[in-house]
Amino acid sequence: MEKELFNYVAERAEVLATNDASTQVTKDAAAAWKVAVAAMLAEQFKRKEAGAKYCNCPSCTAASELLAKFGRIEM
């Protein structure tokens, strides 16, 4: 997700998670999204600090493996 789009979603998730006009179901869903994103970011920062060059999600792993296979990047 592009940073601008991520920020757009994050700002609205914050409103949905905290505003009294939200139903409890909506608050819980928005809060769960924030927790999941925070956990994912923390894991990726930890991996980056440990020297990882690329995201380890299935899509990025497949893409980086293909690029490495054809000598476009080093893993």
SS3 helix, strand, coil % of the chain, rounded to 5? 70, 0, 30
**Smaller CB distance to Zn ion: residue 41 or 57?**
57
**Residue 57 sits in the site that holds Zn ion (CB under 5 A):** yes
- Figure out which of the listed residues 37, 55, 63, 67 binds Zn ion, where binding follows CB under 5 A: 55
Closest separation in Å from C-beta 63 to Zn ion: 8
Q: In Å, how far are 24, 40, 43 from 15, measured between CA atoms?
A: 13, 21, 25
Q: Name the residues that contact Zn ion, by CB under 5 A.
A: 55, 57, 60
